[in-house]
Amino acid sequence: MAVMSLNIGLDTIRSMQVAGPVAQRAFTDAVAHDASVLVNAVIDLDIASVRRRVATGILAALR
């Protein structure tokens, strides 16, 4: 969902330029929030991957 929100078109950008600074700020905040959510999801996936590799290594050492 965050990726879709970040995938904006030129029409959206143009309409924000016409809408004024308040609308531009709200739009910028929404995109920044979505980007933050996306980055956090990638970090969570990476941490899970590291944990899985560590657990696999421990199990292999115990065998």
Rounded to 10 deg, the angle between the 10-19 and 21-62 helix axes is 140
Task: Give yes or no for a contact between 39 and 6, defined as CB atoms under 8 angstroms apart.
Answer: no
Can you give the pLDDT at residue 7?
53
- The pLDDT tens digits of the residues spanning 14-23 come to 666 666 777 7
What residue ranges do the domains of the chain occupy?
A: 2-62
Tokens (6 digits) for 38? 């996306």
Q: pTM here? A: 0.45
Q: What's the DSSP call for residue 20?
A: -
